[in-house]
Structure 1
Amino acid sequence: CGLVKNLSLMSCISVGSLSAPVIEFLEEWGLESLEENAHSQTPCTKVFVNGVWMGVHRDPANLVKTLKKLRRKDDISAEVSIVRDIRERELRLYTDSGRVCRPLFIVENQQLLLTKKHIE
Structure 2
Amino acid sequence: RSNQVKVFVNGVWIGVHRDPTNLVKTLRKLRREGDIQHEVSVVRDVREKEIKVFTDAGRVCRPLFLVDEETQQLEINKSHIAKIEAHTNGEDEDPDQPYNWAKLMSDGVMELLDAEEEETVMICMTPEELEHSRQGFIPQDEEFDPAARIKSASTLDTHTWTHCEIHPSMILGICASIIPFPDHNQSPRNTYQAAMGKQAMG
- Confirm or deny a common fold (TM above 0.5): yes
Q: C-alpha separation between the residues in 2 aligned to 1:110 and 1:83?
A: 22
> Could you say which residue in structure 1 is the equivalent of 2:50?
90
Gaps in structure 1 of 5+ consecutive residues: 1-40
Q: C-alpha separation between the residues in 1 aligned to 2:49 and 2:101?
A: 35
Q: Give the count of matched residue pairs.
A: 80
Q: Going by fraction, where is strand more abundant, 1 or 2?
A: 1
> Could you say which residue in structure 2 is the equivalent of 1:112?
74
Residue identity over aligned pairs, in percent, reads 61
Q: Structure 1: which amino acid aligns with 2:75?
A: L
More relative contact order, 1 or 2 (CA 8 Å, 6+ apart): 1
> Could you say which residue in structure 1 is the equivalent of 2:125?
none
Q: Structure 2: which amino acid aligns with 1:64?
A: V
Is 1:60 equivalent to 2:20 in the alignment? yes
1:15-34 residue pairs with structure 2 within 5 A? none
Q: C-alpha separation between the residues in 2 aligned to 1:95 and 1:104?
A: 19
Across the aligned residues of Structure 1 and Structure 2, the Cα RMSD in angstroms comes to: 1.7
- Report the TM-score when normalising by structure 2: 0.37
Q: C-alpha separation between the residues in 2 aligned to 1:62 and 1:97?
A: 26
Q: C-alpha separation between the residues in 2 aligned to 1:118 and 1:88?
A: 39
- Report the TM-score when normalising by structure 1: 0.60
Q: C-alpha separation between the residues in 2 aligned to 1:113 and 1:74?
A: 16
| Cα pair 2:6 2:17 within 8 Å, conserved | yes
Gaps in structure 2 of 5+ consecutive residues: 85-98, 103-202
Q: Structure 1: which amino acid aligns with 2:24?
A: V
Please give the secondary structure, in 2, of the residue aligned with 1:77: coil
Q: Going by fraction, where is helix more abundant, 1 or 2?
A: 2
Following superposition, the deviation at residue 43 of structure 1 comes to 3.0
Following superposition, the deviation at residue 56 of structure 1 comes to 0.2
Q: 1:42 to 1:89 in 2, by over 3 A?
A: closer
Q: C-alpha separation between the residues in 2 aligned to 1:88 and 1:110?
A: 29
Q: Runs in 1 of length 4+ with deviation above 6 angstroms?
A: none
Q: Structure 2: which amino acid aligns with 1:112?
A: L
Q: For 1:33-81, what per-residue CA distance to the aligned partner results, in whole angstroms no more than 9, with x for missing partners?
A: xxxxxxxx45310000011000000000000001110000000000000
